[in-house]
Structure 1
Amino acid sequence: MRARTSARLGADFGKLWTASAVSNVGDGVTLTAGPLLVASLSDDPVLVAGAVLAQQLPWVLFSLVSGAYVDRLDRRRLIVGVNLVRALALGTLCAVIAAGALTVPLVYVVFFLLGTAETVADTASAALLPAVVAPELLAGANTRLMATFTVGNQFAAKPLGGWLFTVSAALPFGFDALTFVVAAALVSAMRPLPLAAPPGPSGGLRADIAEGVRRLWRHRLLRTLALSMGVGNLMFCGAFAVFVLYARQRLGLSEVGYGLLLTAFAAGGLLGTLTAGRLWSRFGATALLRAGLLIEAATHLVLALTTRPWVAAAILVVFGTHAMVWGVIVVTLRQRAVPGGLLGRVTSAYALLDVSGAALGSLLGGVVAHALGITAPFWIAAGTMLVVLAVAWRPLGRADAQAPGPAVAG
């Protein structure tokens, strides 16, 4: 069955999938080694956290602009170009580390460039997929892409990044640079694909961006999903901004226990990628999306109440499963509902709400926990997600009509 499915998805998808798998491992290595690199220069927690912010900030600043260019330019060549830019940035970082001239501001600059390139590459990849596989196979293709992210980025890359850094501070970033070169070569080997929209007079960048935002806002189901996840990310990141302290103070876990707790979340994500297609075929999109919002509320409620690590681990497995199933459905629905010439802009507008909610939650979570206690963000998140579920309940009823189940189980 899997061999027949892969054949139906086609050789071009195989190249895109392999490129995604390779670059996801490299990304995970850099995400692990980056904080270690900054920590080797300074023990100031603000400076260490700043490296994460430097890579997230471009999503807030440039995601809409990136989406507009994704709809204007050849998406395949765009992915190749930004992957080579990322390889060059990481190669430069390696050279500076080897020369002993590294500074914290330079790390910030490189990470900001990586984040900026990521806004283009991720948006272009999501928008390119409908031109590579048939509409009825999008769910299976998205499931496979998310599975490679979970296995490569969340499982394989984390220990690899830490080990490479112990061998040499420059080695993880050189490894990541190489993965981007390989990914660029794979995508460049795909057959030329038609532009999302024929070239012609444009109303300008601002008009292009506004058109994408309007399309998202006027589509009731997509708007509901975007706002639900914007609020969901605000609540999740607000609660999990203090998760390391929660694990220590509330659950009594050591650093090793905290790491195992995060692994439970990743294990749930892997389970979600393995079961998303079958769950969608059996229960339908509407039931799974509504259940997903209920799981969001239940996760925060259980974490607010429990003091037992195994209970926290169990609910994180459930949450991780939901997150992947939700992601497969939403990405596939968006790819089916939005015309190809608008897909980059609608995807970037959706991503802006997601990332803005996450960034704001990360900023507010520590303040709330400091003022009201370590479980306060979880209580607030549980109540808020129940409200989101009530508001979104009816609009989500349209999901089955607009996102029929996958033709092939993921």
Structure 2
Amino acid sequence: MNVSNIALWKNSSFFALFIMTAMVLFGGTVNTFLLPLLLYELTRSSIAMAAMRAMEMLPLLLAGLWVGVMVDRVNKRHLQRLSLWSQILLLLILFISIKLGKASPSMFVMIVFFLSLWNYCFENLRVSMMRIILPKEELTAANASFSFLSTSITILGPIIGSLILFLATMPDGLLFSIAMFGLALILSHALPIPDKGAPPAPSQSVWLDLKQGWRNLRSNVILWHMTLFYMVMNGTCGLFSSVLIFHLKDTLQLSHTDVAVLLSIMGAGGLAGSLAVGKWRRELGTGKLFGLSILGTTLVFFAMACPASSLVLEAVSLFGYGLSTTVMSILIWSFRQESTPKELIGRITGMTGTFFRMLSPFFMFAAGFLADWAHSTTCFLTAGVVSGGCWLAYLLQPLRKAV
């Protein structure tokens, strides 16, 4: 094990933040599994479920910048507790409403919106706190650890959700999420997560704060280029993921078991990327590894578009997809934290996060039309062409020489 990794886990503040995040991720993943099922039971409507999905993405697009400013302006521990309390109260309102038979589709959609908003606030705070409590040389290992955690819980989430449904009624599953957020809230009071004291009182307007963050982002040429490339790649990944299940079930006629195995293989690729990215970054540098992750993702898209597809090719492609996209994500998360001043990390996280998701809704919307008009492989081919163009543009940028 690398010496920096040992030092990382000896840091009590990081360990506390890691355990808190694990609890929030468990609660959030179970929500992701249960809430669509609860809404479907209530409405039997695909439109209502699509609206709820849209509401999960809107908070970052609409409020990401303002959340970033707020994170930089206020006491981070206090805001963290507020985000956890808010999610607990929202879930309690939904749980009680369902039990009383008062829940409505509009209530579901609004609660999901505010759950996503406060969850994003918690995530921004986590990124900001990492920048404060860890030295720069430990940030890649820290981000890899969180990526490994997130991928693992994403794999386990449906299993836990299914177990909850086996042991209790569907609405009772919300109590598990409430308990996870409650435990995280207790940890936020009991364990040391310093934020170097409360920030100074704001001396300028919110707009000037945003302008200051924007200037810093644009002056950081490498981060700015990484952000633009990641924005495009995130869009192509949204197009890919939107039709993946349809492709596996409808085009390849795979069983539920085969689909589950293939998705687990994709998750295993993500876990492998989390474990390897630190070593690869030290050997290759940030720029080269980022370019290789774009190229790897592009090759996966073209492989999935191949007419003569087989189960083995699908498995290898999905493993490569999980590996490449995880490496790409960890690289930009780590570089963003390393290259951003501590007093601006909330704003830069909010701005880059908004850019990351900016194209995703359009690509996901286009995916449905492409799959309906042509074929799911047309979506994969389109994603490959766009991401291939992204890789060619990368070759012309100074980013490829970044260390």
Q: Deviations over 1:222-278 (max 9, x none)?
A: 111111111112112123212222112332212332232222211111111122222
Give the deviation of 1:3 after TM superposition: 9.5
Q: CA deviation at 1:195?
A: 5.2
Classify the secondary structure of the residue corresponding to 1:286.
helix
Q: Secondary structure at the match of 1:241?
A: helix
Partner of 2:347: 345
Runs ≥4 residues deviating over 4 A: 1-4, 6-9
In the TM superposition, residue 334 of structure 1 has moved relative to its aligned partner by 0.8
Name the structure 2 match of 1:156: 156
Question: Any residues of structure 2 matched to 1:9-408 within 5 Å, and which?
Answer: 9=9, 10-152=11-153, 154-166=154-166, 167-188=168-189, 189-194=191-196, 198-202=200-204, 204-305=205-306, 306-393=308-395, 394-400=397-403
Q: Which residue of 2 aligns with 1:404?
A: none
State the Cα distance separating 1:361 from its structure 2 match.
Answer: 1.4
- CA distance in structure 1 between the aligned counterparts of 2:22 and 2:349, rounded to whole angstroms: 21
Structure 1, unpaired ranges of 5+ = 401-410
| Counterpart-to-counterpart distance in 2, 1:184 and 1:7 | 26
Measure the CA separation in 2 of the matches of 1:20 and 1:83: 11
Task: Report deviation, 1:4.
Answer: 8.1
Please give the TM-score of this superposition, normalised by the length of structure 2.
0.93
Q: 1:265 touches 1:320 (CA, 8 Å); kept in 2?
A: yes
Contact map agreement 1:76 1:128 (CA 8 A) in 2:
no
Shift of 1:2: 7.6
- TM-score between both structures, scaled by the size of structure 1: 0.92
Query: CA 1:21/1:326 → structure 2, altered by over 3 Å: closer, same or farther?
Result: same
Structure 2 letter corresponding to 1:389: W
> Which whole-Å CA distance do the structure 2 matches of 1:135 and 1:7 have between them?
13
Deviates more, 1:383-392 or 1:183-192: 183-192
Tell me, yes or no, if the aligned pair for 1:229 and 1:354 is still in contact at 8 Å: yes
SS of 1:143's partner is: helix
Q: Which amino acid aligns with 1:396?
A: L
Q: Structure 2: how far apart are the matches of 1:103 and 1:352?
A: 30
**2:131 and 2:345 in contact (8 A); partners too:** no
1:259–1:108 CA distance, 2 compared to 1 (3 A): same
Query: How many pairs were matched up?
Result: 398
What does the per-residue CA deviation read over 1:117-169, in whole Å, with 9 as the maximum and x for residues that have no partner? 122111111011021112211111111111111112x1221111133134212
Instruction: State the Cα distance separating 1:71 from its structure 2 match.
Output: 0.8
For residue 198 of structure 1, report the CA deviation from its aligned partner: 3.2
Q: Displacement, 1:333?
A: 0.8
**Partners of 1:63 and 1:352 within 8 A in 2:** yes
d(CA) in 1 for partners of 2:3, 2:213: 37
Contact 1:300 1:378 in 2 (8 A): yes
CA contact (8 A) 1:233 1:361 kept: no
Task: Specify whether residues 191 and 319 from structure 1 end up closer, same or farther in structure 2 by C-alpha distance, changes over 3 A only.
Answer: closer
The answer (yes or no) to whether the contact 1:266–1:320 under 8 Å persists in 2 is: yes
Identity %: 22
